[in-house]
Each structure stands twice: as C-alpha cells, then as structure tokens.
Amino acid sequence: MFENLVYAFIVVFSLTLAIIAMMAFRKSGKPKTLLITLAFMLFFAKGVLLSIQLFTDFLNDANLWIALGLMDISILATIFLATLKP
C-alpha cells in the first residue's frame, strides 16, 4: 500500500517538474533546459511504468528490470549532458 503512494507521488511530482521545466525552456530557449525537461519526462515514464506494473503483470521481472535500467541510464545521460556539456 505504501509503495503505491510513493509511486503515485513520483508520477505527479515528476510531471509537475517537467511542466515547470518546459515553461522555463519556453521562456529562456536554452537547450540545456530542454534536456532537463526530457530527464523529468523520463522520470514520469518510469513512474507510470512502475505504477502499471503494480496493478497488472504487464512485464515479467527480468523485462521490468531491463526497462527500468535503460530508463535510469537515459535519465543519467540527459542530466550529464545538461549539466556538464559546455
């Protein structure tokens, strides 16, 4: 039960941050802000995937961990590019 609330919070919070980042991108026009928006959208997608998995058996455990690992790599790469790219 508690994990359901945590995943729901992750989904709502990451979507909120993605919307705020998108508004900041529209205001500033900087590509780094767009990368941060992408990272938040990936967090949102990861939260949705975990929420779906909690209520259905959409993926087996091995495929779920592979998908989550690939999403984590993508999130880390976008944050890396946004913060360390000149």
Domain parsing of the chain, residue ranges? 2-84
Q: Tell me: the pLDDT tens digits for 50-75?
A: 888 878 877 788 888 898 999 999 99
End-to-end Cα distance, the chain: 44
Q: How confident is the model at residue 20 (pLDDT cuts 50, 70, 90)?
A: very high
User: How many CA atoms does the CB half-sphere of 8 hold within 13 Å?
Assistant: 6
Packed helices 2-28 and 31-55: angle between N→C axes, nearest 10 degrees: 160
Angle at 79 between CA 67 and CA 50, to 5 degrees: 30
Return the pLDDT at 36: 93
pTM over 0.95: no
Quick one: pLDDT at residue 64? 85
| Averaged confidence pLDDT in the chain | 89
Residue in 77, 74, 9 with CA at minimum distance from that of residue 42? 74
Give the pLDDT of residue 86.
67
